[in-house]
Amino acid sequence: MKIYIFFLLLFTQLAAFAQDAEIAVGQAELDKDKLVIDDPEHVSLSSNSKLLSKELIEIIKNDFSFYKHKFNAVEYSDKGKNSFTLPDVVKWQAGGVTYFVASQMKDSGATLDASFKVWSVSTSKDILGRSFKVSKDSLRNVAHQISDAIYTAITSKKSIFNEKIVFVSDRTSGRKDIEKELYIMDFDGRRVEKLTNFNSVVLSPAIAPDNSKIMFSVIATKKEVSRKKVRYVKNIDLKAYDLRTKAFSTISDKPGINSGAIFSSQSNVIYLTLSYTGNADIYEMNTSTGKMRKITSHFADDVDPSITRDGKLMTFLSTRPGRAHVYTMDPSSTEKDLKRVSFVGQFNATPRFSPDGKEIVFTSWVDNGFDLYRVDAQGNNMVRLTKEFGSNEEPTYSPDGEFIVFTSKRVISRMKAVQDVYIMNREGEILGQLTSDFGQCFSPQWTN
């Protein structure tokens, strides 16, 4: 069946021989700010509140460890000695500190009152002063909010600390039946929640710009009756999950592929791959009216679109060269300004724009495995991001453009391999593994 041959072509041609790529793994040297997150002052805290205070600071410090390409987090020699009420800016300046985070914790009934100040040491001014109420149940949410407030005060930008990551896992599969369901977790891999129970295979999630919905495809079994004969056929349908109402809906269930869907900057305008006319092409669809417009039109298969926030440039995969490679085009009309931008590896997969639309990160089959590359939107300045780190696939940028989440498969033995979600910064420095002992994981996507 063409639908399965097509996916096999794009994602599982593991017997192909890759060409050599003489592109170095990306590295960059950046000046770092020296950041101190001090131990808090405690004002008459109970033992439980002291424990909560400690956990709060540990989460905040761990949050900032992800931005180690920006901050050199250091410990202060006089930890917790009245740095909130009696700041010693002169001493911090002598220690070469750039930013100093001080806090004070007080009991307040059932909650902990956590007050924070951020000092810009060079100007001797506090650039943040805020208080937060913390409980055991709200600990992680509030800790991420505090981290984001600190980061924004320093950089005037939003962080990833309040973001979540949606991904697919096969952890509920049986010995014979493969199941892949949809999950969501914090940016650091904590608090995983299952979202679907289709007992089928979920594919290619995408998140609305306002984080209200998740689109995804699912392999559905349908009953067909023809001339009194009944048969069951499989189809890849496109569905949506409303994160507010917890309701599911079907967006497109045309015969064949309804997949690879992404949102535009408008939640009711999407781009998706359809194959109901024979081969796979990319379409624009208004989900409110059902009106469609064809974006690509070629006898080769065109799939897996990604679009810039202003909607002026699209990247996608096409088998026009014989195997899947990355192209760009202007999606305002069919086949406008089409350009091939990837020339590395035997075949490529999952191209994704950076938030500013200046870069594309994608997967390429090179050196007998998948590795990650990035290239600018014009097809220049290719950088290899992974090498000798397992088989790496499905990259996508964080909303601030500073990070990339991806999946990496590690061979454990001749009979076992594990695939988990990892995070790196945009220069290719691996920061950590986000999933563990959670089955085979696929298709991580950031909230917006």
pLDDT in tens, 199-230: 999 999 999 999 999 999 999 988 777 777 88
Residues 417 and 376 in one domain: yes
d(C-alpha 187, C-alpha 375), whole Å: 25
- Torsional class of 124: left (φ above 0), alpha (ψ -120 to 50), beta (otherwise): left
Residues 315 and 431 in one domain: yes
17 & 144 share domain: no
What is the C-alpha separation between 219 and 202, in angstroms, rounded?
7
Residues ≥6 apart with Cβ < 8 Å to 389: 408, 430
Q: Please indicate, yes or no, whether residues 308 and 360 belong to a single structural domain of this protein.
A: yes
Q: Domain holding 356: CATH number?
A: 2.120.10.30
Whether residue 24 is found in the same domain as residue 51 = no
Please tell me the total count of domains within the chain: 2
Determine the pLDDT at residue 82: 83
pLDDT of residue 108: 87
How far is 298 from 296, CA to CA, in rounded Å?
A: 6
Rounded to whole angstroms, the Cα distance separating 260 from 394 reads 12
Q: Do residues 11 and 54 share a domain? A: no
Per-residue pLDDT tens over the stretch 359-417: 999 999 998 899 999 999 999 999 999 999 999 999 999 999 999 999 999 887 777 88
- Domain boundary among the residues 155, 190, 219 is at 155
**pLDDT per position as a tens digit, 56-77:** 999 999 999 999 999 999 887 7
CB 176 within 8 A of CB 154: no
CA 385, CA 23: separation in Å to the nearest integer? Answer: 9
**Domain's final residue, options 122, 155, 188:** 155
Confidence of residue 80 (pLDDT cuts 50, 70, 90): low
* 89 shares its domain with 234: no
More confident residue, 15 or 364: 364
Q: Do 24 and 37 share a structural domain?
A: no
24 token code pair: 């170095």
CATH number at residue 60: 3.40.50.10070
Looking at the structure, tell me whether residues 75 and 124 fall in a common domain: yes
pLDDT of residue 224: 77
Whether the predicted pLDDT of 18 surpasses 60? no
The distance in angstroms from the start CA to the end CA of the chain is 36
Please give the model's pTM, rounded to 2 decimal places: 0.91
- Is 85 in the same domain as 173? no
Quick one: 151 and 211 in the same domain? no
Provide the β-strand partners of residue 430. Answer: 424
Among 119, 138, 155, the domain boundary falls at 155
Task: For the beta carbon of residue 77, count every other beta carbon within 10 angstroms.
Answer: 9
In this prediction, residue 7 has a pLDDT band, given cuts at 50, 70 and 90, of very low
Query: Vertex 243, ends 242 and 247: CA angle to 5°?
Result: 40
Residue-range definition of the domain harbouring residue 8: 2-28+164-446
325 HSE (CA, 13 A, CB side): 17
Shared-domain flag, residues 150 and 212 = no
- Residues 314-349 have pLDDT tens digits of 999 999 999 999 999 999 999 999 999 999 999 999
